[in-house]
């Protein structure tokens, strides 16, 4: 006898499937249906809550969403669901945004706004960080919660970010003899540059303020306590790295006298109602 005598398939005969085979096939089909209905895995997606990286303390947060009706400041630069941000809380001298700053002079830790802040003497106090939070973005919002004090120089730089002297962004104060100040912001990118000086909009010294600078790819605008003061067009090209100074210019001049609580940079143009809360 040969194998053909024992196995009908080898003889070309058809054989009905057994009950066990039918049950197994049905189970496989049901398992495939269940798997197909399961939601896709989200293990590779960014979490919705904030998370930190070392050095630049990069945060990924929910997209602020579309601008309110009538918003004239340009579209948001972020993709759906995420906005890249850098947040620096200035409440110590050992670590800013995950990195150790170079400390110039003797900035002091003070109690302010129900928390801590850094005070700068306007003479030789400052911080330098080997990070440029504007790296990699074509549009942005720069915010600072700060208090300019009396007794400082007429021109002061409290935030300076650059990849080189030809590519830099600054936020500054200008003081007059009546203990008032106005906001001065500056963007330079290659041969293109723009200065905004709100000389007609004066603020008293010694109070806490929120200042913001936005750039949407064409126009820069600056705000004090959520109110737009000036705007102007400038060409800006995204950079790949650089440094930041707080409390002075990067070449250690134009020292700031006052205190700074927080700095936040968003890689998107935020509407004023999405800014950090106005200090009270």
Can you give the residue ranges of every domain in the chain?
3-37, 58-272
The answer to whether 67 touches 75, Cβ cutoff 8 Å, is: yes
Q: Write a three-state SS string for the chain.
A: CCHHHHCHHHHCCCCCCCHHHHHHHHHHHHHHHHHHHCCCCCCCCCCCCCCCCCCCCEEEECCCCCCCCCCCCCCCCCCCCCEEEEEEECCCCCCECCECCEEECCCEEEEECCEEEEEEECCCCEEEECCCCCCCCCCEEEEEEEEECCCCCCEEEEEEEEEECCEEEEEEEEECCCCEEEEEEEEEECCEEEEEECCCCCEECCCCEEEEEEECCCEEEEEECCEEEEEEECCCCCCCCCEEEECCCCCCCCCCEEEEEEEEEECCCCCHHHCCCCCC
Find the range with the poorest average confidence among 9-23, 109-123, 146-160, 220-234. Answer: 9-23
pLDDT of 16 higher than 80: no
The arithmetic mean of pLDDT across residues 8-26, rounded, is 54
Q: What is the pLDDT of residues 99-142, one digit of tens each?
A: 999 999 999 999 999 999 999 999 999 999 999 999 999 999 99
pLDDT of 22 higher than 70: no
Q: Over the Cα atoms of the chain, what is R_g?
A: 29
Q: What is the pLDDT of residues 28-80, one digit of tens each?
A: 666 555 455 554 433 333 333 332 333 344 444 444 444 444 433 333 334 44
Q: What is the pLDDT of residues 162-215, one digit of tens each?
A: 999 999 999 999 999 999 999 999 999 999 999 999 999 999 999 999 999 999
**CATH classification code of 58-272:** 2.60.120.200
Looking at every residue in the chain, the average pLDDT score rounds to 82
Cα dist from 204 to 89, 127, 185, whole Å: 24, 25, 18
């Amino acid at each position: 006898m040969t194998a053909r005598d024992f196995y009908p398939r080898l003889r070309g005969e058809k054989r009905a499937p057994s009950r066990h085979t039918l049950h197994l096939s049905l189970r496989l089909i049901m398992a495939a249906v269940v798997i197909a209905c399961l939601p896709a895995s989200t293990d590779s997606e960014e979490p919705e809550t904030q998370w930190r990286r070392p050095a630049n303390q990069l945060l990924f947060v929910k997209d602020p969403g579309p601008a309110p009706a009538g918003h004239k400041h340009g579209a948001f630069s972020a993709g759906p669901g995420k906005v890249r941000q850098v947040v620096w809380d200035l409440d110590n001298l050992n670590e800013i945004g995950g990195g150790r700053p170079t400390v110039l002079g003797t900035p002091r830790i003070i109690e302010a706004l129900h928390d801590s802040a850094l005070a700068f003497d306007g003479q030789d106090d400052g911080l330098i960080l080997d990070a440029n939070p504007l790296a990699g973005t074509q549009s942005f919002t720069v915010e600072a919660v700060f208090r300019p004090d009396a007794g400082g120089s007429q021109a002061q730089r409290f935030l300076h970010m650059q990849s080189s002297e030809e590519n830099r962004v600054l936020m500054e104060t200008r003081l007059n003899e009546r203990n008032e100040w106005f906001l001065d912001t500056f963007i330079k990118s290659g041969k293109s540059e723009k200065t905004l000086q709100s000389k007609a909009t004066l603020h008293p010294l010694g109070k806490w303020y929120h200042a913001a600078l936005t750039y949407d790819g064409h126009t820069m605008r600056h705000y004090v306590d959520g109110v737009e003061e000036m705007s102007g067009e400038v060409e800006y090209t995204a950079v790949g790295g650089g440094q930041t100074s707080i409390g002075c210019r990067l070449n250690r001049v134009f020292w700031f006298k006052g205190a700074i609580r927080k700095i936040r940079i968003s890689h998107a143009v935020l509407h004023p109602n999405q800014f950090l809360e106005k200090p009270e």
